[in-house]
Structure 1
Amino acid sequence: MSDNSGKILVVEDERDVAELVGFNLERAGYEVILAHDGLRGQELALKERPDLIVLDLMLPGKDGYSVFKDLRRDNRTSHTPVLMLTARAQTEDRIKGLEVGADDYLTKPFSPKELVLRVNAIMRRTESTPGSVEVSAGPFRLDKNNMSFYLNEERVDLTSTEFKLLLFLVERPDSAQDRNQLLRTVWGYSDEVHSRTLDTHMKRLRSKLGPYANLVETVRGIGYRLNVS
């Protein structure tokens, strides 16, 4: 019996694949909603407000990248975790998916067990943490319950990936953090693709920090550090 809970939207046009994904996620304890084209998937995402979306990229009606970008622009779904599921297995495609802000990327054919493990990992990372809801360091304040970030008390919009990266550093100020640890914390595991996109996410995060961008330091040969001392 699984302790998992939560609502997951699966947007997949191949019905046998959608049913396979749905069956395994339901068996793992999740409530599953299915959509078989991009437009319907986007409509259900806004209506049902799922806890996570499994999104195919090659969809009829509206492709997955377009659906993803529109969901990120809408306040109702801007922080909803997304696992991209696609037959596009090239490294460049995976990097593109992660760089636009997807929480993970799984290629077909896939192991249903691996899919469930990745979904579990994403759901654990996005759970709100009772107790110490807010964490601060220097001019940064982060609210973990609603994933809000404030820079000198002015709200700044971050993607869920940017938020998780900054939170990891803010909770460990003035201490160099290893790249692999950052990768495992944010994406669940470390590999070459995620390592390459980590730097892109950091670059985008710094661009949103304005005059405080230099507080996020690159520590050569190690990773990154938040310097607020």
Structure 2
Amino acid sequence: MSNPHLLLVEDDMALAELVSYHFDKSSFRVSQTADGEEALLLAREERPDIILLDWMIENLSGIEVCRRLRRGNDTANIPIIMMSARGEEEDRVRGLDIGADDYVTKPFSPRELIARVNAVLRRVRPALAGETLTFADIEMDTIRYKIKRGGETILLGPTEFRLLRHFLEHPGWVFSRERLLDHVWGHDSDIEIRTVDVHIRRLRKALNAGGRPDIIRTVRSAGYALDNDIAEG
């Protein structure tokens, strides 16, 4: 497994060098820039696994960079942690509202920052943390693309694999068909909503083979969730 790629966007050169040094020591591959426009180009050219984004940078503010990344088809799902000396609740809420996954107030310790980055990666990109996703009797090896239920191998197509992975990363969450289209197929997808139902049926058929209980719950007028209740339909 390759080392996680971190894009650091910070115009304080001394701080950037310090942060880069500590992430290098922690086996990250670090790219860095002080420029908001260049950050957008770098994120599109070589999609990083996570972005550390300062609020106050050159050309474009960190807020605007975050907003544009979230709007881009290729960059919408890249985890972003915003860094700022602005510690007011209103600023933190604004950063999170425009799409940041976490918000770190300066000054911070490199150790805390690395812990925050690893926590976000574990949550949104478990394969980078080398983790197996589990729920009830389901196990998914996100690196080797293998799924087992009750110790028996389950064969899934690529779309069903991504769908199950998304559910396993958010157990108990109810996702509408529209949100599943965004997260699993992508923001630029022109696939019809009812296609989600088709793939849910395929996923259920594979997971429930041999009379196993259905752990994908249909929530009427809302969508689907992964939990231990018997599905309604």
TM-score (norm 1): 0.61
Structure 1: how far apart are the matches of 2:38 and 2:220? Answer: 38
Shift, 1:131, TM fit? 2.9
Deviation per CA, 1:165-213, whole angstroms, max 9, x where unpaired? xxxxxx7859xxxxxxxxxxxxxxxxxxxxxxxxxxxxxxxxxx99317
Change (3 A) 1:89 1:150: closer
Larger radius of gyration: 2
Kindly indicate whether the alpha-carbon contact (under 8 Å) linking 1:10 and 1:18 is maintained by their aligned counterparts in 2.
yes
Q: What's the RMSD between the two structures over aligned residues?
A: 3.8
Shift, 1:95, TM fit? 1.5
- Name the counterpart of 2:13: 15
- Name the counterpart of 2:112: 114
2:221 equivalent to 1:211: yes
Kindly indicate whether the alpha-carbon contact (under 8 Å) linking 2:7 and 2:30 is maintained by their aligned counterparts in 1.
yes
Change (3 A) 1:226 1:153: farther
Structure 2: how far apart are the matches of 1:79 and 1:158? Answer: 8
1:30-49 matches, within 5 Å, as 30-49=28-47
- Name the counterpart of 1:91: 89
Kindly indicate whether the alpha-carbon contact (under 8 Å) linking 1:4 and 1:28 is maintained by their aligned counterparts in 2.
no
Structure 1: how far apart are the matches of 2:92 and 2:229? Answer: 28
What percentage of aligned pairs have identical amino acids? Answer: 37
Q: Which runs of 5+ in 1 are unaligned?
A: 136-140, 160-170, 175-208, 217-224
Structure 1: how far apart are the matches of 2:96 and 2:28? Answer: 24
Change (3 A) 1:91 1:210: farther
2:4 equivalent to 1:6: yes
Quick one: higher RCO (CA 8 Å, sep 6+), 1 or 2? Answer: 1
Amino acid at match of 1:37: D
Provide the secondary structure at the position in 2 that maps to 1:53: strand
Kindly indicate whether the alpha-carbon contact (under 8 Å) linking 1:150 and 1:156 is maintained by their aligned counterparts in 2.
no
Provide the secondary structure at the position in 1 that maps to 2:146: coil
- Name the counterpart of 2:209: none
Shift, 1:151, TM fit? 5.2
Structure 2: how far apart are the matches of 1:226 and 1:106? Answer: 38
Provide the secondary structure at the position in 2 that maps to 1:106: strand
Count of residue correspondences? 167
Structure 1: how far apart are the matches of 2:90 and 2:41? Answer: 29
Structure 2: how far apart are the matches of 1:64 and 1:16? Answer: 18
Provide the secondary structure at the position in 2 that maps to 1:144: helix
- Name the counterpart of 1:142: 163
1:26-175 matches, within 5 Å, as 26-125=24-123, 126-128=125-127, 129=142, 130-132=145-147, 142-144=163-165, 156-158=181-183
Structure 1: how far apart are the matches of 2:102 and 2:64? Answer: 17
Shift, 1:142, TM fit? 2.7
Structure 2: how far apart are the matches of 1:111 and 1:157? Answer: 35
